[in-house]
């Protein structure tokens, strides 16, 4: 069965997942957030702030890291959400089962690492009648599934799943067999930077960031391989300030490094040879995906060298 997801897990009444639109607060008091990308948290701050005063039963379940990101996001945007988050959020540990009573309905919930962006998770809901998996955005490869302990039961047999809610953003004919893995993409970016740096030892690299979250592995690998911090804007440093496995690799001082990981137009390089890299999955969803794939076979990203 395929349908447009509206936040409802039909097998678990009274909850909403990754959907915080106004009418949801009339129907639900228990909410789940899989990760902190804007398309999965529309209305979250507005909804909780405006409804909490009239409904003290509001609850929000997310991972420990997502809760940290939420607080930093609110602070950056000047939103006073501390008190509401303190009283509504349950911080979930990965692979730990939580017993919930949702208006008399009993359900066990587990947050499973989704490998999408920092803090991201899938949710496994177990009731007396069914086992339901909500994937959200995820990056698991097929061979990795057997290592997800929450999906393995007694004697390591797979838990039967009655329903799976799958995010199908890139489940398109044009992307079939064309999307590279994140590791392959990072390797190709590293190769292009090395090639550029040999030709222009004093050149700079501009990596146009596709989103605020989700490139943590790329940041860490670039910092490690080139033995340098990665320059990002003040806002991103603030967003990651409490994330120990990312923040040490970042700097908000552009003079400290030759690699800049910023939004389009945030860095000017008028007097330097520049390598500009645009890592984006959107190219693979275009109608011209075959031509894109031919380019990917050579470098896996759009990289242009220009003298300015």
Q: What is the CATH number of the domain that holds 151?
A: 3.60.15.10
- Asked if the structure places residue 228 within a domain, the reply is yes
- Asked if the structure places residue 224 within a domain, the reply is yes
Domain boundary among 112, 139, 169: 169
Same domain, yes or no, for 222 and 107? no
Please tell me what DSSP assigns to residue 27: H
- Asked if the structure places residue 294 within a domain, the reply is yes
Residue with tokens 């330097």: 272
Q: How confident is the model at residue 264 (pLDDT cuts 50, 70, 90)?
A: low
Same domain, yes or no, for 209 and 230? yes
pLDDT at 141: 75
Is there a contact between 267 and 206 (Cβ–Cβ < 8 Å)? yes
Domain boundary among 144, 169, 194: 169
Give the mean model confidence (pLDDT) for residues 188-213. Answer: 93
How far is residue 62's CA from residue 121's CA, in Å, rounded to a whole number? 8
- 45-65 pLDDT, tens digit per residue, is 988 888 888 888 899 999 999
Same domain, yes or no, for 194 and 162? no
Helix 182-199 × helix 216-226 angle, to 10°: 40
pLDDT at 285: 52
- Asked if the structure places residue 279 within a domain, the reply is yes
CATH number, domain of 202, equals: 3.40.50.12650
Same domain, yes or no, for 83 and 143? yes
Q: Which residue has the higher pLDDT, 209 or 120?
A: 120
Strands (E), the chain: 15-17, 30-32, 59-63, 89-92, 97-102, 105-113, 121-126, 131-136, 163-166, 204-208, 230-231, 250-251, 259-262, 274-278, 302-306
How far is residue 238's CA from residue 233's CA, in Å, rounded to a whole number? 9
- Nearest Cα residue to 137 out of 108, 170, 159: 170
Same domain, yes or no, for 164 and 225? no
Q: How confident is the model at residue 308 (pLDDT cuts 50, 70, 90)?
A: very low
Q: Which residue has the higher pLDDT, 299 or 106?
A: 106
Give the mean model confidence (pLDDT) for residues 240-261. Answer: 95
pLDDT at 170: 65
Query: Taken in order 62, 68, 74, 77, is the CA torsion positive or negative?
Result: negative
Same domain, yes or no, for 21 and 164? yes
pTM as predicted: 0.85
b vs e for 258-273, b when ≥16 Cβ sit within 10 Å of the residue's Cβ? bbbbbeeebbebeeeb
Same domain, yes or no, for 266 and 291? yes
How far is residue 34's CA from residue 61's CA, in Å, rounded to a whole number? 9
- List Cα–Cα distances, 56 to 12, 135, 153, 238, in angstroms: 21, 29, 36, 30
Give the mean model confidence (pLDDT) for residues 300-305. Answer: 39
- Asked if the structure places residue 10 within a domain, the reply is no
- Out of 65-79, 106-120, 220-234, 292-306, which region has the weakest mean confidence (pLDDT)? 292-306
Same domain, yes or no, for 82 and 139? yes
pLDDT at 78: 92
- Asked if the structure places residue 62 within a domain, the reply is yes
- Asked if the structure places residue 113 within a domain, the reply is yes
How far is residue 260's CA from residue 193's CA, in Å, rounded to a whole number? 12
Full residue range of the structural domain in which residue 196 is found: 182-306
pLDDT at 303: 39
- 121-174 pLDDT, tens digit per residue, is 999 999 999 999 999 998 887 777 778 888 886 566 778 899 999 887 666 555
- Asked if the structure places residue 9 within a domain, the reply is no
Q: Which residue has the higher pLDDT, 36 or 53?
A: 36
How far is residue 278's CA from residue 129's CA, in Å, rounded to a whole number? 46
pLDDT at 305: 40
Is there a contact between 47 and 150 (Cβ–Cβ < 8 Å)? no
Domain count, the chain: 2
Q: Which residue has the higher pLDDT, 225 or 307?
A: 225
Same domain, yes or no, for 208 and 102? no
- Nearest Cα residue to 60 out of 96, 19, 26: 19
Same domain, yes or no, for 19 and 141? yes
Is there a contact between 263 and 291 (Cβ–Cβ < 8 Å)? no
Same domain, yes or no, for 131 and 202? no
pLDDT at 298: 46
Same domain, yes or no, for 206 and 236? yes
Domain boundary among 169, 203, 237: 169
């Amino acid at each position: 069965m395929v349908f447009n997801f509206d936040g409802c897990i039909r097998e678990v009444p009274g909850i909403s997942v990754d959907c915080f639109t106004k009418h949801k607060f009339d129907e639900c008091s228990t909410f789940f957030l899989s990760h902190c990308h804007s398309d999965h948290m529309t209305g979250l701050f507005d909804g909780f702030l405006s409804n909490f005063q009239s409904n003290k039963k509001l609850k929000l379940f997310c991972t420990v890291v997502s809760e940290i990101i939420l607080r930093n996001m609110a602070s950056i945007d000047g939103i006073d959400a501390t008190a509401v988050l303190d009283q509504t959020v349950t911080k979930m540990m990965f692979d730990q089962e939580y017993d919930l009573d949702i208006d008399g309905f009993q359900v066990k919930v587990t947050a499973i690492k989704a490998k999408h962006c920092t803090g991201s998770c899938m949710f496994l809901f177990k009731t007396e009648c069914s086992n339901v998996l909500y994937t959200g955005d995820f990056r698991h490869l097929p061979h990795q599934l057997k290592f997800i302990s929450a999906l393995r039961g007694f004697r390591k047999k797979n838990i039967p799943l009655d329903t799976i809610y799958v995010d199908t953003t890139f489940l398109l004919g044009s992307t079939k067999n064309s999307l590279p893995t994140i590791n392959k993409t990072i390797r190709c970016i590293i190769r292009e930077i090395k090639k550029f740096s040999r030709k222009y030892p004093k050149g700079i690299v501009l990596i146009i960031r596709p989103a605020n979250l989700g490139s943590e592995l790329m940041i860490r690998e670039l910092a490690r391989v080139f033995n340098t911090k990665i320059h990002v804007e003040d806002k991103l440093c603030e967003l990651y300030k409490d994330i120990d496995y990312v923040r040490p690799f970042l700097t908000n001082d552009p003079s400290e490094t030759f690699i800049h990981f910023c939004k389009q137009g945030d860095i000017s390089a008028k007097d330097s040879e520049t390598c500009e890299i645009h890592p984006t999955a959107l190219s693979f969803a275009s109608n011209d995906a075959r031509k894109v794939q031919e380019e990917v076979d050579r470098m896996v990203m759009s990289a242009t060298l220009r003298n300015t």
